[in-house]
Every structure is written in structure tokens, then in C-alpha cells.
A and B are shown apart, each in its own frame.
Chain A
Amino acid sequence: SQQGEEDPQALSIQEGENATMNCSYKTSINNLQWYRQNSGRGLVHLILIRSNEREKHSGRLRVTLDTSKKSSSLLITASRAADTASYFCATGTQGGSEKLVFGKGTKLTVNP
């Protein structure tokens, strides 16, 4: 079963605008990760936030985590056409080795 649920399912914005995607999950986690998938390709890891962290930055990416609400958000600032992709959150629940459970994803389209 899938742990994370991304919202919205689809998002269309203009180049230069910010894009915000949300992820909700159900059970306790060790960490939450965001991945990007370009059409027809494999997933690429973007950023990881641990359960004891509240916010993390990496370049134009900003991730927040609220464990009390079991939710996370991914903000992409100053979006580019090359950011067009599907974005997935994955919850890591460590029980010997990291178990990664993915949500259904947000399809982001950045229009030039």
C-alpha cells in the first residue's frame, strides 16, 4: 500500500513562478525524501529531511516537515521549463534497512 499522498495531482505554472507540492503520510517515519521523474526515465533523488528536522534547503528547493500533521511540502522557487516532471515523496521507515514507500506523485508542468 502507498504511504504518501501528494497534492495536487497536477500543477501547471509559468516559468519564474514558484511551485509548491504537498505530501501527507500515515505512519511514523524515519525520514521523508523527494524524488523527481522525467517522462520515461528513472527517479532521481532530490532531497531528504529527517524526522527531527523541520526545514531543509538545497539550491532552489525548500522542504518542510511537520511530523505532528504527518505532512511535508516541497517548494521549487523560480521554476524553469526543465523542472517539468513528476515529483514523488517517499517515506523512509527504518527497520533493519530503509523501506521506501512512494506516493502517487504530482505532475508539474512549467510553461516557458
Chain B
Amino acid sequence: EAGVAQSPRYKIIEKRQSVAFWCNPISGHATLYWYQQILGQGPKLLIQFQNNGVVDDSQLPKDRFSAERLKGVDSTLKIQPAKLEDSAVYLCASSLKAEAFFGQGTRLTVV
């Protein structure tokens, strides 16, 4: 069974630039999560999809972050414009029931 795929693995951008992350969940998993993990902290939920609908985006900074999950499969997370404090690892996870399966994450550095 293929795992959750994320790309790119690393990204370095300047502040005020835009960036996009891609996630391909495990086939058949209806729930998809995007988490932000700042160094030394636990993952913070940004947005949760159930198929292509949003379940929770209460902690998504909507003035600069956006996410979509077209056709209920792949998902993209975009930041525009980026700030220094957005430097973090962005984790995508998917689940069928309760257990979540995580990708390796995208490490974003904003300089």
C-alpha cells in the first residue's frame, strides 16, 4: 500500500513570495488533514477535509493560506504572501477511520 505522498520535501522562499504544497493521500481515504509543525512544537491542525468538503479550517489564516481538495483526492495548500513565521514543516495526513497516516512533510524556510 502506497503511503501519503507530499512534495516538495524542502522549499526556501523569500518573505512575501508565494508557495504551494501538494499532497496525494492513501487511495480510498476520505479524510485529509494539513498540519503545521513549528520546530519543537506539536502539529497544529490547519484544515481538515472530508472528501472534497471542509470539516474544520478554524485555525487556517485565511488572509494568506488557502487549501483545496479537488475531486476529493489530491490536495494543495498555498501560502500567499509568506511571512517569516510561516517557516515550519507542513504535514499532510489521511485517514479512513480513526488512525491517521502521515506523509514525510514539506520543510518550508522563509527568509
Distance A71 CA – B98 CA, assembled complex (angstroms): 19
List residues 55-112 of chain A with CB under 8 A from any CB of chain B.
88, 90, 92, 94-105
Q: Please give the number of chain A residues whose Cβ is less than 8 angstroms from any Cβ of chain B in the complex.
A: 29
A43 pairs with B102, CB closer than 8 A:
yes
B98 pairs with A42, CB closer than 8 A:
no
Q: Which residue of A35, A41, A90, A98 is within 8 Å of B97 (Cβ)?
A: A98
Residues of A within 8 Å of B30, CB to CB, are 97
A42 pairs with B99, CB closer than 8 A:
no
Residue A22 is within 8 A (CB to CB) of chain B in the complex:
no
Residues of chain B touching chain A, judged by Cβ–Cβ distance below 8 Å, are 4, 30-31, 33, 35, 41-45, 48, 50, 55-56, 59, 91, 93, 95, 97-105, 107
Residues of chain A touching chain B, judged by Cβ–Cβ distance below 8 Å, are 1-2, 4, 30-31, 33, 35, 40-45, 48, 88, 90, 92, 94-105
